[in-house]
Amino acid sequence: MFAVIKSGGRQYKVSVGDKLEVNRLAVEEGAQLRIGEVLLISNGDNTFVGAPFVEKAEVLATVESHTRGEKLIVFKYKSKKRYRHRRGHRQELTVLRIDDVFAEGKSLVSKEK
């Protein structure tokens, strides 16, 4: 069982128990988060495809921590002009743990509403 969700302009394929790094969200650590932008849900025998989102579908996640990604070096250079510009960047990230996937108001893990 998996779902495809949209967060921060990117799409992620997630399943229950996965840890996921997304762009920084304004949510406290330890809080539960309902992601309503679900594009696709596949449950072995059933597949729900959204147009653009699946109706009555949510992914429940817990915010584990806020962190920063690895440092990237941006280096601009123009030959013969003595122009060299070096700058670093670290992306602000939120680590999520996927707890449950809901389709049509029912949990696909515990089969409860």
Tens of pLDDT, residue by residue over 53-64, are 999 899 999 999
What's the pLDDT score for residue 113?
A: 62
What does the block give as tokens for 25?
A: 């969200």
pTM of the full structure: 0.83
Q: Domain extents for the chain? A: 2-107
Count other C-beta atoms under 10 Å from residue 43's C-beta.
13
Does the CA dihedral 88-64-55-49 come out positive or negative?
positive
pLDDT digits (tens, 9 = 90+) for 32-75: 999 989 999 998 788 889 888 999 899 999 999 999 999 999 99
* Per-residue pLDDT at 112 exceeds 80: no
Cβ atoms of 32 and 99 within 8 Å: the answer is: yes
Q: What residues have CB less than 8 Å from 18, skipping those under 6 apart? A: 97, 98
CA distance 43 to 87: 45
What's the pLDDT score for residue 13?
A: 96
